[in-house]
Amino acid sequence: MNDRVLGGRVFAAVMLAVLVAAGGCKRKHGVGKTLETFSPDYSNQLQQLDATGNLPILRWPNYTDYKNYVQNFYAMREYRLAWTRDKKPVKATTDVIHLFQTIDRKGLNPVDYDADRWPQRLSALSSASDEELAKFDIAMTVCTMRLISDLHIGRVNPQHFDFDVNAVGKRYDLPTFLAENVVDSEDVASQIALVEPNSDQYRATEDALGKYIDLAKANPQWDPLPAVTKPILPGGEYPGLQVMWQRLMILGDAQEGAPQGNEYTADVAEVVKHFQHRHGLEENGKLGPQTIAALNVSPAARIHQFQATLERWRWLPDEFLKAPLQVNLPEFVLRVHDPVTHKLDFSMRVVVGQFIGQHQTPVFTQKMKYIVFRPYWTVTTNIARKEIAPHVAKDPGYLGKKNFEVVNAQGQPVASYNADSIAQGRVIVREKPGPKNSLGLVKFMFPNQYDIYMHSTPATQLFANSKRDFSHGCIRLQEPEKLADWVLKDQPEWTEEKIHDAMDNGPDNKTVVLKQPLSVVIFYATALVAEDGDIHFYDDVYQYDKQLEDVLRQGYPYPWFKEEVKPKTAPGETV
């Protein structure tokens, strides 16, 4: 049987083996029960219809990516119909159709599962021919398989976007799960809910999406607020104040008690600060163009952000769903969670890769395995050729003045070099350790093909900005000492004093291997539910949401073939 494996060439639905083990072992009778009470042999009709992997009555007729699974499902059932009995839908059928019709509340598109077509199909069952009954059955099977797989691992292979996220461990036997856990189930919703990511953050995002769907339905009109040419401060006037206040109430930032007139008071400014906090804006209480622009984004538009975030949650392998170290790129924040309780220990600001210049930090998962105190920064050949060699050509003493040194491949100092030997890569240029080093005094290594890591930085002034995409791809930390203390807390020989001494005094390039590797997720959520329950939104700084939306707009079959992950930045250029 062909498994649908993330990175595999053929799309085939996957699920945790434990689901089959847990659900299937308790329901061995499921298929037999169905065969006893359901329709006779429909092998001719089902096999002929399924031969091509194309069913014209579907919104997305091409299901070749599920064809083998559909065949296996019906072979298990000896080619009996699964979804009707005596030309009437079984309970599971109506339950699954209801799920199709409400699946938008889980961030999926009802159209993908023919949600609006099922009422007519149901009404036509009583007069359906054998061929029409078989078409109905295959359509239900394909749409249900698509739904289960989409909820479990998402619709698009993350490697399609050059993201190194691998769900190879999430394979499962979809035909068996469908036969034993769905078609005979008295509670389809709870069975299918088992395939969703087991994450409080995922569930909170799903709940928040539901709230915004309701907001969008209740507030279809969302006209632009009056524009401002310069920020309005407390004491000023804003002609759209009453409409703005009503909007802030709808979104949960303001309470009852609208201000009188159009005066932008200090109390209004405090409410605006809360809105700014939730939208990744500078929390200054000033009503400027960026704040007005965020207020003009309707709840309906925000729904797309939830959908993209939920899709990425489904990509994550199970071992990374509750990763203790999570960076949210568009938020520019690292969150550190207790590995056992999964509660938030602390968070800090980070600087991530620039959008301009194609230095975007990608989405990926890895394990942090070691840290390095007082590291060298080895300059890549590309940077050496473009940026270092021209300076050396003008001033042979340039490297010494800038705290660089030249070494050979073995790391031994080279006394004789020139601009040509640097540009041609015959020698290696590296920045000496110390507080002015580009990597600061510590780096945190989770080896990956992008050569991206977390590190301290001498450019601490950048953390004051609300938008912090300034690096070549690596992740700069606002509080590196705090993270070092936390990472080494289970290694008692590394006391807080010893850690700080290692950073301040050396030795240089000191590697410390972690006793237990730590899961790291570099994530991208433009819609996020914070620990206090507030719903936050962030700009699509890398256009990753737009890329995903463009692909999903094309419909089934979504890209799922294996693609080589291409690093978004040249190795070593990620500081």
SS3 349: strand
- CATH number of the domain to which 290 belongs: 1.10.101.10
What does the alpha-carbon distance between residue 463 and residue 333 come to, in Å, rounded to a whole number? Answer: 10
Q: What pLDDT is recorded for position 183?
A: 94
Q: Please indicate, yes or no, whether residues 182 and 89 belong to a single structural domain of this protein.
A: yes
Residues 134, 51: one domain? yes
Which of 271, 297, 323 terminates a domain? The answer is 297
Q: What is the pLDDT along the chain (575 residues), one digit of tens a residue?
A: 334 433 333 333 333 343 443 333 333 334 545 455 545 788 999 999 989 999 999 999 999 999 999 999 999 999 999 999 999 999 999 999 999 999 999 999 999 999 999 999 999 999 999 999 999 999 999 999 999 999 999 999 898 888 999 865 676 789 999 999 999 999 999 999 999 999 999 999 999 999 999 999 999 999 999 999 999 999 999 999 999 999 999 999 998 777 889 999 999 999 999 999 999 999 999 999 999 999 999 999 999 999 999 999 999 999 999 999 999 999 999 999 999 999 999 999 999 999 987 789 999 999 999 999 999 999 878 889 988 999 999 999 999 999 999 999 888 999 889 999 999 999 999 999 999 999 999 999 999 999 999 999 999 999 999 999 999 899 999 999 999 999 999 999 999 999 999 999 989 999 999 999 999 999 999 999 999 999 999 999 999 999 999 999 998 988 865 555 454 444 445 56
Q: pLDDT at position 346, please?
A: 97
The answer to whether 105 and 211 have CB atoms below 8 angstroms apart is no
Host domain of residue 404 = 377-432
Does residue 90 form part of some domain?
A: yes
Let me know whether 29 and 177 are in one domain: yes
In a domain, 541, yes or no: no
Tokens of 273: 């600060």
Q: Are residues 387 and 419 in contact, defined by beta-carbon separation less than 8 angstroms? A: no
Report CA-CA distances (Å) from 128 to 45, 161, 352, 495. Answer: 13, 44, 59, 75
Question: Is the same domain home to 26 and 169?
Answer: yes
Choosing from 416, 432, 448, the residue where a domain stops is 432
Check: CB of residue 523 under 8 Å from CB of residue 312. Answer: yes
Q: Is the domain of 189 the same as that of 73?
A: yes
**Beta-ladder partners of 271:** none
Phi, psi for 50 (deg, rounded to 5): -90, -5
3-state secondary structure of 86: coil
Please name the helix (run of DSSP H) or strand (run of DSSP E) that holds residue 514, with its range, or none.
strand 510-523
Q: Which of 248, 266, 297 is the last residue of a domain?
A: 297
At residue 237, the 3 state secondary structure works out as strand
* pLDDT computed for residue 380 by the predictor: 79
Q: Is residue 57 part of a domain?
A: yes
Verify cis geometry, omega within 30 degrees of 0, for the bond prior to 557.
yes
Helix residue spans in 219-373 (DSSP H): 241-250, 266-278, 289-295, 299-315
Are residues 74 and 144 located together in one domain of the fold? yes
Of the candidates 476, 470, 473, 434, the one whose C-alpha atom is nearest the C-alpha of residue 456 is 476
Q: For residue 123, is it within any domain?
A: yes
Query: 111: helix, coil or strand?
Result: helix
Q: Which residue has the tokens 């632009």?
A: 224
Cβ atoms of residues 64 and 558 within 8 Å: no
| 21, 142: one domain | yes
84-85 and 454-455 beta bridge pairing: unpaired
Burial label for 160, CB within 10 Å (0-12, 13-18, 19+), is middle
Output the pLDDT for position 560.
Answer: 66
Kindly give the pairing relationship between strand 344-353 and strand 475-477: antiparallel
* Helical (H) or strand (E) element with 205: helix 200-218
Do 39 and 150 share a domain, yes or no? yes
Terminal C-alpha separation, the chain: 45
What confidence score (pLDDT) does residue 19 get? 42
Domain contains 445:
no
Is 136 in a helix, a strand, or coil?
Answer: helix
Number of residues that this document lists for the chain: 575
Question: Quick one: 62 and 149 in the same domain?
Answer: yes
Q: How many domains does the chain have?
A: 3
DSSP 22: I
CB of 463 closer than 8 Å to CB of 349: yes
Distance separating alpha carbons of residues 314 and 574, to the nearest angstrom: 27
Regarding whether 152 and 72 lie in a shared domain, the answer is yes
Q: Count CB atoms within 10 A of the CB of residue 189.
A: 12
Give the pLDDT of residue 21. 39
Q: How far apart are CA 154 and CA 147, in angstroms?
A: 9
> Which sign, positive or negative, has the C-alpha torsion 342, 534, 228, 304?
positive
Position 176 in a domain: yes
β-partners of residue 40 are: none
Give yes or no: residues 191 and 269 share one domain.
no
Find out whether 316 and 309 touch, Cβ atoms under 8 Å: no
Q: Is residue 184 part of a domain?
A: yes
Q: Are residues 48 and 133 in the same domain?
A: yes
Does residue 41 form part of some domain? Answer: yes
